[in-house]
Amino acid sequence: MQLSDFDIDLFLRDYWQKKPLLIRNPWNDWRNPLEPDELAGLACEEGVETRLIVQSGGSWALEHGPFPEDRFGNLGAAPWTLLVQAVDHYAPDVAALLDPFRFIPNWRIDDVMVSYASDGGGVGPHFDQYDVFLIQGLGKRRWRVGQRCDDSTPLRPHADLRLLADFEATGDWVLEQGDILYVPPGFAHDGVAVGEDCMTYSIGFRAPSRHDLMVEWTEHLVADMADDDRYADPDLTRAVHSGEIAPAAIDRLHAMAIEKLLDRDAFARWFGQHSSMPKYAEADWRPEEPVTVAEMQALAEEGAVLLRNPASRFAFLREADGVLLFADGNAFPCRSVAAALAERICAQDHIVLDPSLSDAIELLAALVNQGSLMADDEEED
């Protein structure tokens, strides 16, 4: 599915991270990519991040999955909402929803969360720290958008949910199948299902905080520092006052502290690996039997197709003599044929192999063996 009536440049100029936007069904042919029963089945599986929010009057109760199969049949008449994170990792048709939004860099993409709500179900008025496109997949949902919020905005007392104490709606719409609501970071919003079988697909985008960026970058640097890399002052002269920390000492200490922080190339390499780490690092997508370079060469000769793992993250940096490909936290220097292939892998969900890729066979084998690429079983059949 592609967007047929959507001005990307206008959107980025006037709305991206500036103000909400309602986009009435811009798809060339909208089809709901996942059935409610399929979503419920995922919510019962181990390793899938799942939440259930049940309303009672003006309160919300949160449960974490996985859930027993009979849980949803025993919910009664109270409004409820099921939320399943990273559904794009498990359902190719849901992963395909990301393609029309590739005008935003891959490293910013988080995942596609899918929610199912009974009539009146919702998660309450709240705000997020990231951009989100809310696609109405099935049924209807009433969305209200409100004031800008930040960490000082008052919240209701709740052990599990960050619900706004006050909500002032400035926009109010009912979204039907195929409609999209874009909400920038910090804007209050509240969605309530109108009728049964309400499914919403939330495409969320990552935005690292300055705090997290600094902590994780410095932790990476510190891990590689030698214990004997210490302050030294072989040019020390007699102290004028023994209690003073002299300006020369501060200059030297400050230089020690920031020297490695200022290495832009090292930061770029680290960030590429860091930002391409899988959302769920504990998941193991590696094949049962590693593929050999010879086997990969044979696949290339046959014109086999490799699929990009929807759970994998790819990005690259341009270098003077090629590109540095990042895949699931690992870095691969790529030159010539391999560099062009790396760019294709980052842009496409599948790669058709051919003999011209012989110089990139080792790269392909490495990506398959770490679970970032996989053979198209249907193609093999």
Q: What counts of helices (H) and strands (E) characterise the chain? A: 10, 15
- CA triple 268-269-275, angle to 5 deg: 85
How far apart CA 272 and CA 308 sit, in angstroms, is: 18
Residues 133 and 354: their CA atoms lie apart, in Å, by 37
Residues 6+ apart with CB under 8 A from 313: 106, 107, 109, 275, 276, 277, 278, 279, 326, 327, 328
The region that residue 160 occupies, defined by phi over 0 for left and psi between -120 and 50 for alpha, beta otherwise, is alpha
Amino acid (one-letter) located at 334: C
- Is pLDDT above 60 for 127? yes
DSSP string, 312-369: --EEEEEETTEEEEEETTEEEEE-HHHHHHHHHHHH-SEEE--GGGGGGHHHHHHHHH
pTM beyond 0.75, yes or no: yes
In tens, the pLDDT along 260-284 reads 999 999 999 999 999 999 999 898 9
Q: What are phi and psi of 131, to 5 degrees?
A: -75, 145
Taking 80 as the threshold, does the pLDDT of residue 378 lie above it?
A: no
- Using DSSP's 3-state secondary structure scheme, residue 166 falls into coil
The pLDDT score that the predictor gives to residue 146 is: 97
Supply 206's token pair: 């990552």
Q: Which CATH code fits 293-380?
A: 3.40.366.30
Q: What is the pLDDT of residue 305?
A: 96
Pairing of strands 322-327, 330-334: antiparallel
In the chain, where the domains are located: 8-205, 293-380
Indicate whether 367 pLDDT > 50.
yes
| Residue 162 φ/ψ, nearest 5 degrees | -95, 80
Q: What is the predicted pLDDT for the residue at 381?
A: 44
Q: Does pLDDT of 379 surpass 70?
A: no
Domain 8-205 carries which CATH code?
2.60.120.650
**CB contact at 8 A, 124 and 163:** yes
Structure token pair of residue 85: 């994170």
| Dist CA 320 CA 304 (whole Å) | 31
pLDDT one-digit tens code per residue, 90-119: 999 999 999 999 999 999 999 999 999 999
CA atoms of 379 and 299, how far apart (whole Å): 11
pLDDT, one tens digit per residue, over 289-319 is 999 999 999 999 999 999 999 999 999 999 9
Q: Which of 254, 263, 200 is nearest to 231 (CA)?
A: 254
